Structure 1
Amino acid sequence: MTSTDLLSDPRITLMGLFVEAYADLMREVSAQERAHGLSVAEFDVLLRLGRSPGRQLRITDLYTQTGLTSGGMTRLIDRLDSQGFVTRSPDPTDRRVVLACLTDAGAAKAAAILPGHLAILQRRLLDPLTEAQRQAFDGILRAIRDAPAHHRD
């Protein structure tokens, strides 16, 4: 296969479309969240905590889920803690484990951002699709996310 053939590979096109769609969506989402004084990653943590039992997660689970490094998550939690949106507490079942806990102020901050966030997702991610396409898209994203790493070559 020539380099021209490789550059025309449909996998490259598919990845390019995915990256372009994601980048365009994230520019708008990021601007909306910055207008509320948070980064995308900070808002993501507030959402993850708010959707978790007891509004808390192990910090190690947060950095695994978000793709941040341990140090990056520590700095992010420090920022959210200094703003009163998150607190740290020891896990009562394992004192070696530190939990990030969403405060009422953090829940209120997420609630203030959510209407604009959801409007963007509706307009940019869902409105262009039919109901059948939405269901297929959901299934496709879950299949990609859940695929074992050794199948992701």
Structure 2
Amino acid sequence: MADRRLAIAAWESLFRAQHEVFEEISSDFVGTDLSQAEYDVLLTVTRAPDMTSRLRDVTANMLISQPSVSRLVDRMVGRGLVTKCSDPDDGRGSLVTATDVGAHAFRAIGAAHGRRIAERMSCLDDDELHQLLVLTEKLRGTTYSAAL
């Protein structure tokens, strides 16, 4: 069993670091065509084959509730950023597909946002970044599967 005080101190430091970095990079979305939540939806959708993802997969990658994701996606449909249709393989589910407009808006913000994240994380070297990735995935109970 880990030292309780050390575990709490590490958790608090991780939480505060995440919060501070998130606040800093959230300014990337001020004055753009996408909110950060819309960007997060498009991040999942545009990375999927044919820029189409199940709504439940979008929800799994978001930090908001399923009803909130559904409402967000419906607003994005209204703005022409994505389309939504029934999932032929799951009658209760939906498929979300990025439109050309949504994909373009995502790419326009994504490049600058990616540079900003890399810049903010540059205080860590590649070995430290890899170690951070391994440790955070271990905390989440997952394994990073994408090629580095």
TM over 0.5, shorter chain: yes
Matched, 1:77 2:73: yes
Give yes or no for contact 1:49–1:102 (8 Å, CA) kept in 2.
yes
Give yes or no for contact 2:33–2:105 (8 Å, CA) kept in 1.
no
2:47 paired residue number: 51
TM-score, normalised via structure 2 length: 0.84
User: Mind listing any 5+ residue stretches in structure 1 that lack a counterpart?
Assistant: 1-5, 148-153
**Percent sequence identity over matched residues?**
27
1:19 paired residue number: 15
Measure, in 2, the Cα distance between the counterparts of 1:67 and 1:87: 21
Matched, 1:134 2:129: yes
Alignment RMSD, CA only?
A: 1.7
Q: Secondary structure at the match of 1:66?
A: coil
1:144 paired residue number: 139
Structure 1 residue 130 displacement after superposition: 1.5
Structure 1 residue 93 displacement after superposition: 2.8
Matched, 1:114 2:131: no
Structure 1 residue 129 displacement after superposition: 1.0
Measure, in 2, the Cα distance between the counterparts of 1:24 and 1:35: 21
The total of aligned residue pairs comes to: 139
User: Mind listing any 5+ residue stretches in structure 2 that lack a counterpart?
Assistant: 143-148
Structure 1 residue 61 displacement after superposition: 2.0
Which residue identity does 2:101 align to in structure 1? A
Q: Pick the structure with more helix per residue.
A: 1
User: Following superposition, which runs of at least 4 residues in structure 1 exceed 4 angstroms of deviation?
Assistant: none
Greater Rg, structure 1 or structure 2? 1
